[in-house]
């Protein structure tokens, strides 16, 4: 989900136990933080259309998907499932003052860290 507000930028903060990503703008339409994984809304149809036509040429994920964006509404469910696999925790979404969305991704578990070395 891409969002921008003139004069504001995405902010990424890396801590020893988590990554926090701040995205300017409210959640689109009538969505809530709780419904992000269940509903989809494109803020930029041009980017959405372009990503749906860009073939994936990365060997690691080529069998998994054919294009950078195979279908709408898959981003948040992928973030949830992959974060659960890596850290053993679901990421946390928080809407701040209806003007900024914060996503917190937690560090990998010890067993996952051993697999990465």
**Tokens (6 digits) for 82:** 């992959």
Q: Which residues contact 3 (CB under 8 A, 6 or more apart)?
A: 23, 24, 25, 26, 28, 43, 101
Q: Which pLDDT tens digit goes with each residue over 33-45?
A: 888 888 877 666 7
CA distance 75 to 26: 17
Is 24 within 8 Å of 31 (Cβ atoms)? Answer: no
Q: Which pLDDT tens digit goes with each residue over 47-106?
A: 777 777 777 766 655 556 677 676 667 778 888 988 999 999 999 999 999 889 999 999
Is 76 within 8 Å of 1 (Cβ atoms)? Answer: yes
Q: Which pLDDT tens digit goes with each residue over 92-112?
A: 999 999 889 999 999 997 765
**How much is the pTM?**
0.69
């Amino acid at each position: 989900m891409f969002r921008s507000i003139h004069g504001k930028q995405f902010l990424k903060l890396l801590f020893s136990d988590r990554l926090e990503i701040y995205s300017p703008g409210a959640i689109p339409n009538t969505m809530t933080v709780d419904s992000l994984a269940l509903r989809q809304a494109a803020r930029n149809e041009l980017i959405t259309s372009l990503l749906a036509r860009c073939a994936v040429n990365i060997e690691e994920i080529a069998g998994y998907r054919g294009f950078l964006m195979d279908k709408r509404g898959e981003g948040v469910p992928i973030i949830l499932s992959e974060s659960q696999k890596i850290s053993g925790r679901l990421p946390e979404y928080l809407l701040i003052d209806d003007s900024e969305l914060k996503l917190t991704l937690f560090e990998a578990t010890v067993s996952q860290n051993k697999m990465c070395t």
